[in-house]
Chain A
Amino acid sequence: MNAPSESAAEAWAELVTAALLGTDRRPVPDLPAGALADMVADGVHTDPADRMLAAVAAMAVARRSAFVPLPPAASLQPPEPDPRPIIPAVAAATWREIVAEWPVLEDEWTLAVVHGGWQLAADVLVATLARHRTDPVRLARVGRAAGPLAAWVAAHEPALAATGRRAVPPGAVEALPDLPVPPELAELLAVDAHTFVGALVPRVEVATPSLKPVFVNLLARCRPEVLADTAAALATQPFGLALALADLCRLRSRMLDELRPR
C-alpha cells in the first residue's frame, strides 16, 4: 500500500501515473482519507484493476462535480472607442447573402458601411478579417469600416491578422474596383431607369448564359436609381438568367437602403 495522497489533485495525478503503467506494474494508489476513499474501500474489489476502476470513477466524478472557477483574470485593454453605430442586424444578414450569392457586391457594401457612418458588427468583422487577410486593399477597407476594433481583434487573434505587408495603392480603399463592361453597355451606366430597362431587357432576352458576367458587372455598377424598375422588368421574364439578374438588382437595392447614411 502507498501512503495516502495529500490532496485530490495529487491523488488524481498518482492515479493517472498508475493508469499509464497499468496495475500489473504499479500498485493502485490510495485515495486521500475521506468519503471517496471510504466509498472505494466499501466495494469488494479483490482485483487491483477493479479497485483502480472504482477509484478512477469516484475521483473523476468528484473532480467534475466540485467544479470551481479559476482565479479572476485581468481584462484586456479595450480598443479605442468608436462612436459610430453598429450596422443593423438585417445589414449583417444581407452581407452574408452577398458573400454567398453575389460577391461582386461586397466591395460596394463595405464602402456603403463607411460612407453611411456605420461600424461593422462583430460577426461580420471577424468573417471579413478572415476572408480578406491576404488582400491588403479589402483588408484596409474592412479596417476603415470596423474602426479601431479591427486592429484590436487581429492583434489578439493572430489567425485573423494580415498576411504579408503589401502596400495599399493611394485611393484604392475608397474606390470601387473597375468591372469590365463592353462599350455598348457602358453607355447605360448613366441613363435613367426607363432608358436602362428598355435597352437592357431585350439584350438579356437573347443573351446566352456565357454573357451573364457582362450583365452582372453592368448591374453591379449602374446607377442605384434604375435598380427597382430593372428588377421588376426582369422578374417578368420566363428564363433563368433574367430571374437571376432580377435577384441581383433587388439585393443591391436592399443593401444600399439598409446602409443609407443616418
Chain B
Amino acid sequence: MRGSTPRHPRNTVRRVEQRWSVEQVAAVAPNAAAVASAEPLAVPRRWASTGCDARAVWGKCLGSGAEPYDTMVDHSLADGTGAAWRCSCPSRRRPCKHALALLLLWVRGGVPEAAPPPAVVAWITGRTPHQVVEPVETTDTTETGDDSPPAPPPPTDRGDLDRARDERVARMRAGLTELDRWLADRMRTGLADPALARYSTWDALAARLVDAQAGALANRVRRLAGLVGASPGWHADVLAELGLLHLLAQAGLRLGELPDGLADRAATAVGWQVRHADVLAGVPDTDDWFVAGRSDVREDRIEVRRVWLRGVATGEWAMVLSFAAYQQSLDDSFTVGAVVRADFHRYPGRSLRVLVSRTKVVEPVETTDTPKVVEPVETTETIAAEVATTVAGACDAIGRAVAAEPWLERYPAIIRATPTFADGRWVLTDATGSLALAGEVDGRATLLAASAGAPVAITVEWTPRGVVPLAVHLADRTLDIGPRADPSFVGAA
C-alpha cells in the first residue's frame, strides 16, 4: 500500500479548471430566478470595458440607469480563495444578477482577456493580499476598449500556487469527512427520520459540499433528494445511493491508495475539476463515431445532455456532455444516427466523458431541418445491426462497467430486443432475458410502434431504475426517442 497522502491533484494547481462551467455559475446563484434574470444581461451589447484574467472578470453593465454598474468577480475557485463578487448596483442579493450575467458571458467566451484595470487590481489585492494573480497572455488593452494603464507584473510564486492547491485538497478532504459523518448519522437515526423528507436537509448538505469544492457530489446529493418518496420502494433506492456516497467519500479520502485510473475517475466523481486544456492536451481517440443516442435530464437548475457515441473501429463508448441553464441552448451538434469522424479527448482515467477537438460528418449528411430524423444510411443501419447485443450480453457489459466504476449512474448499450409488457411492467426481452424499461411514455410508445411487436435494434441507457430507450435503429432511419429537455426551459439551439 502506498502512502495515504492524496496523490490527486498530482502536479500543480494548473490541473484545475480556470474557466467555469454554466453549471458552476448556476451553483453560486442564490436561486434559479437569479440565473433567469441574469440571462438577458449576458450578452455583449449590455457590457462595456469587459476583461478577464486568470483571477478575475470585470466589466460595466449598461442598465436602465444613467451610470453603468461596475461589476467584478473573483473567479479563482481554483486558487482556494473561493469566488467573490462586487457590483455597484443597489441590489442586496449577492451575487447580483450583474455578477451572474458577467460570469455567464465569460463562461461563453464573450469576455476578452485583458490586463485588469486599477480598480480590479485594488479589489483583488485587498481581498487576499497573499494570493497569486497569474500573468495573462493578452495585455492588449485596445481589445477591451479599456484605456486604463497596464497592471504591474503579477507575482508568480510557485510556492503560493502549491499552497493554494494544498488548501483546496484540505477543504475537499474536510468536506468528504463531514459527508461521511452525516451519512453515519443517517444510519443511526434511520431513513424514517422526517428530516429526510425535507429538501432543505439535502440542500444544506449539498451546499456544504459545494463549499468544499466537491461539486459533483453536491449534484449527486441533490439527485438523491429527488428519490425520497418517489416510489413505493424509495427507501431501498435511497439506501443504495447513501452507500455509494459513502464509497465515494472513502475513495476521495484515499485517492493515493487507488490504482491510477480508478483514482482519476474517483476524483472526477467527487468533483475535482480538470482544465479543458489539460484534457485536450492528451492523446486523442480518433475514430469514426456512431452517434448512438441522446438523453436530456434536468438536474436542479441545469439541463444536462448526454450524447453517447460508439467508436466504429474500437467499439469503445464515449460521452459528450453539455449543460444549459434557463433559456440557454443545449449542444445540438451531434445528430443521433449519424457517424462523425472525430478526435475525442478522454477525461483522466479513460473516463467515458470526452471533449471533442475535431469533427467531420462522415455519414449521413443531414438532409432535413430537424435533428430528429436521419435519412436512410446503410452505414448506420449496419453499425447498429452489427453491434447490437443480446439482453444478457448488455447486462454483462453494464455489470462490468459498474464493477469497474461502482458509482456509475448511466451506461449505454445497443440491444436487439422486443418491447413487451410482462408482470405489470414494460420490459425489453429476447431469448436470453428481459430488462425493465424506464423513461417517459412518448419514448416507450414510439419504441413500441417502431417494433410493432418484433425485435429491433435499440440504444438504451442503463440507470439503476431501469433502461431508458434512447434511439431505435430501423432499416431506413434512426428515431431519436431519448428524453428531451423541456422547450420552455431551454432556449432554441
Contact = CB atoms under 8 A, between A and B. Distances in A.
B433 A69 contact: yes
Interface in B389-408: 391-392, 395-396, 398-400, 402-403, 406
Determine the main DSSP class of A at the interface with B.
Answer: helix
- Top 10 A-B residue pairs of the complex, sorted by shortest distance between their CB atoms: A69-B433, A22-B190, A78-B453, A73-B422, A56-B243, A122-B449, A93-B368, A122-B450, A57-B243, A65-B403
Given A47-B184, A69-B434, A97 B189 contact: no
A152 B415 CA distance: 23
Contact of B247 (A61, A76, A121): A61
A60 B243 contact: yes
B373 A16 contact: no
A78 B454 contact: yes
Contacts of A64: 240, 399, 402, 406, 464
Given A65-B403, A130-B442, A20 B246 contact: no
Contact of A56 (B246, B369, B444, B445): B246
Interface in B166-202: 180, 183-185, 187-193
Interface of A: 12, 15-16, 19-26, 47-50, 52-54, 56-61, 63-79, 86, 89-90, 92-94, 96-97, 121-123, 125-127, 129-130, 149, 152-153, 156-157, 159-160
B376 to A, nearest CB: 7
A77 to B, nearest CB: 7
Contact of B446 (A15, A90, A123): A123
A54 B243 CA distance: 7
Interface string B448-465: 111011100000001010
A49 B370 contact: no
Interface residues of B, number: 75
Contacts of A96: 370, 372
B373 A92 contact: yes
A95 to B, nearest CB: 10
Contacts of A126: 442, 445-446, 449
A152 B373 contact: no
Interface stretch (B15-23, B83-91, B132-140, B474-482): B474-482
Among A16, A23, A47, A73, max chain B CB count under 10 A is at A73
Interface in B187-241: 187-193, 235-236, 239-241
Given A19-B239, A160-B445, A66 B434 contact: no
25 contacts: A16-B236, A19-B235, A21-B192, A22-B191, A23-B188, A25-B190, A53-B243, A53-B246, A56-B187, A56-B239, A60-B241, A61-B243, A64-B240, A64-B464, A69-B395, A70-B436, A71-B434, A73-B429, A75-B418, A89-B477, A92-B372, A93-B370, A122-B447, A149-B452, A160-B445
A90 B392 contact: no
Nearest to A58: B243
Nearest to A77: B453
A57 B435 CA distance: 24
Contacts of A50: 184, 187
Contacts of B236: 12, 16
Contacts of B250: 57
Nearest to A150: B449
Nearest to B447: A122
Contact of A122 (B188, B370, B431, B446): B446
Contacts of B111: none
Nearest to B434: A70
Nearest to B375: A89
A128 to B, nearest CB: 11
B429 to A, nearest CB: 4
A149 B448 CA distance: 10
A159 B435 CA distance: 22
Given A57-B246, A66-B399, A75-B418, A19 B442 contact: no
B453 A79 contact: yes
A104 B289 CA distance: 40
A56 B242 contact: yes
Contacts of B368: 89-90, 93-94
B237 to A, nearest CB: 10
A200 to B, nearest CB: 26
Contacts of B446: 122-123, 126
A25 B188 CA distance: 8
A16 B453 CA distance: 38
Nearest to B477: A89
Contacts of B454: 75, 78
B363 to A, nearest CB: 14
Contacts of B370: 93, 96-97
